[in-house]
Amino acid sequence: MQNKLKIINDPVHGFIRIPHEILFDVIEHPYFQRLRRIGQTGLLNLIFPGATHTRFHHALGAMHLMFTALETLRQKGVKITEEEEKGAMLAILMHDIGHGPFSHALENMLMDDWHHEKLSLLLMNKLNEEFGGQLSVAIEMFQGKYHRKFFNQLISSQLDVDRLDYLNRDSFFTGVSEGNINTQRIISMMNVCGEGELVIDAKGVYSIENFLTARMFMYWQVYYHKTSALAEFLLVKILERAKYLVSQGMDLPAGENLKYFLHRAKSSATDEDIYRFNQLDDNDIIHAMKSWQTSDDFILSYWCQCVIQRNLPKTIISTRPFDREFVEEKIKNTNEFFGIDNGKELVHEIKRKLLPYDTEKQPIYLLQKDGKKIRLEESQDQLLSGLMVHKTARYILTFPRDISQIIS
């Protein structure tokens, strides 16, 4: 009989235990194994060469932190059954199972408006059928329908184990130390009060502020880095262009499963869609982009060469939208340099905005010694939270590098 209670060596958390056989069974399933071929951070390795880690890595790390959080809560007197423990660990293990190639960048391109969480839920339900209903509690928790609220908050909130893992993991693999947070300290401060709501012991206020600050720095320094934003934008434009060309009758070389989605008309997801989707990963997109470098369509070939050869377009970043005349001048120069009339396709303004701490959407509560809870931003001890409730935005203008030398 196979031993399913394995131990996995993780570069971020050390040894990760698999305490329940059903967790091992889900990990071994082809739906989950596909995550080995889905990058956690898209094309971020074009900017940070070490960022080659996968969704598979991240899901295991988040599962480990969930186990640690539940153990902490038990030690503080919170009753958690074995079924609840299994459910919570399964829910966080599968929370990203619906991610498509290159994660966020392409999730709307291949399956229209199908957000990865919607696909994750659909795949969870299919797995639940296969495993005879063993994932039912996990699905309830994932959807926020379970009667004890803190389980869903650990899975999805402003202070969930998903964020605790990806911040440390992305910090580790990119080498950007500003994202490094003390997950053990934060988890040790977790508690449950009232109607089963997740709170943080008041003495953990600075650890939480450090977490929010680290997340803000990682967004502006890594995820929203102007070249990161550009690379993600290019992926979307490449697939958008490919779908358009196919709709115009052009035959583009691509793997069978990617070709299926390029030709797919808008509709609700079918069993065939789900099957095809689970055959797709980053490799299909990379292979297609390599082929499309020599496409007869100038726009498609230009963008694919930019990504594959890492000869990326020029970017300028600003705190306000770019002047229309300045943008038009870049389009005019692009048309003249390449001898084309659709240069506007190669000049774009990309907007990125961030609200570091949303006081309305699942606010973080601190539990005081007298048993009362207060919002993080209302604490007299907070130093930074009051400054993180304002949205910030950056505007990135991208245009062909070849025209940056042209003086009008």
Q: What is the DSSP string of 90-131?
A: HHHHTTTTT--TTGGGGHHHHSTT--HHHHHHHHHHHHHHHT
Which long-range contacts link 181-190 to residues 24+ away (Cβ below 8 Å)? 181/207, 181/210, 181/211, 181/214, 182/207, 182/210, 183/65, 184/68, 186/159, 186/211, 187/65, 187/68, 187/69, 187/72, 188/72, 190/69, 190/72, 190/73
Predicted local confidence at residue 343, as pLDDT: 93
Predicted local confidence at residue 388, as pLDDT: 77
Instruction: Assign domain 225-311 one CATH number from 3.60.20.10, 3.90.110.10, 1.10.340.30, 1.20.1250.30.
Output: 1.20.1250.30
- The DSSP output letter for 220 is I
For residue 198, give the nearest of 207, 186, 183 by alpha carbon.
186
* Percent of residues, the chain, with pLDDT higher than 70: 95
- 288-302 residue pLDDT tens: 999 999 999 999 999
Predicted local confidence at residue 208, as pLDDT: 94
Confidence bin at 347 (pLDDT 50/70/90): very high
- 2-16 residue pLDDT tens: 788 899 999 999 999
For residue 338, give the nearest of 365, 313, 315 by alpha carbon.
313
- pTM for the full predicted model: 0.93
What b/e string do you get for 138-149 counting C-beta neighbours within 10 Å, with b at 16 or more? bbbbbeeebebb
What b/e string do you get for 352-369 counting C-beta neighbours within 10 Å, with b at 16 or more? bebebbebeebebbbbee
| Top-level class of domain 6-223+362-390 | mainly alpha
Domain range list for the chain: 6-223+362-390, 225-311, 313-355+393-407
Q: How far from each other are the two terminal CA atoms of the chain, in whole angstroms?
A: 75
pLDDT at 155 over 70: yes
Predicted local confidence at residue 113, as pLDDT: 60
CA 242 → CA 132, 211, 261, 266, distances in Å? 41, 40, 10, 15
The backbone torsions φ and ψ at residue 83, rounded to the nearest 5 degrees and listed phi first, read: -65, -40
Which long-range contacts link 334-341 to residues 24+ away (Cβ below 8 Å)? 334/399, 334/400, 334/403, 336/406, 337/400, 337/402, 337/403, 337/406, 338/298, 338/400, 338/402, 340/298
For residue 53, give the nearest of 169, 163, 162 by alpha carbon.
169
With tokens 């990326």, the residue in question is 312
Cβ–Cβ under 8 Å, residues 401 and 314: yes
